[in-house]
Amino acid sequence: MHLVIKAFCVGMALLLAGCISTTQPSYFKLEAKAGSSSPGDYGSIGLRPVSIPEYLRRSSMVRSEGDNRLDLNTGDRWAEPLEDGIRRIVTLNVAALLPTDHVQRYPWSTRTQPDTIIALEVLEMTSGVEEARLVVDVDITRSTSSSHLLRFSAKLPEAATGAQIASAHSELLYQLSETIATKIRSGELDD
> Domain holding 168: CATH number?
3.40.50.10610
Q: Is residue 76 part of a domain?
A: yes
Q: Is residue 16 part of a domain?
A: no
Spell out where the chain has E strands: 26-28, 45-47, 60-66, 69-78, 103-105, 116-127, 131-141, 145-155
Tens of pLDDT, residues 20-47: 556 789 999 999 997 666 667 788 899 9
Q: Check: CB of residue 177 under 8 Å from CB of residue 97.
A: yes
Encode burial over 113-127: b for 16+ CB neighbours within 10 A, e otherwise: ebebbbbbbbeebbb
Tens of pLDDT, residues 137-186: 999 998 788 899 999 999 999 889 999 999 999 999 999 999 999 998 88
Q: Is residue 21 part of a domain?
A: no
Q: Is residue 12 part of a domain?
A: no
Confidence of residue 62 (pLDDT cuts 50, 70, 90): confident
Q: How far apart are CA 71 and CA 62, in angstroms?
A: 6
Q: Is residue 181 part of a domain?
A: yes
Sign for the pseudo-dihedral over CA of 94, 120, 180, 81: positive
Closest CA to 51 of 94, 92, 96, 81: 81
Q: Is residue 32 part of a domain?
A: yes
Structural domain range at position 102: 26-190
Q: Is residue 18 part of a domain?
A: no
In eight-state DSSP terms, residue 188 is: G
Q: Is residue 145 part of a domain?
A: yes
Number of domains into which the chain is organized: 1
Q: Dihedral angle at the C-alpha atoms of 154, 156, 160, 166, nearest 10 degrees?
A: -20
Tens of pLDDT, residues 99-140: 777 888 888 887 888 999 999 999 999 998 889 999 999 999
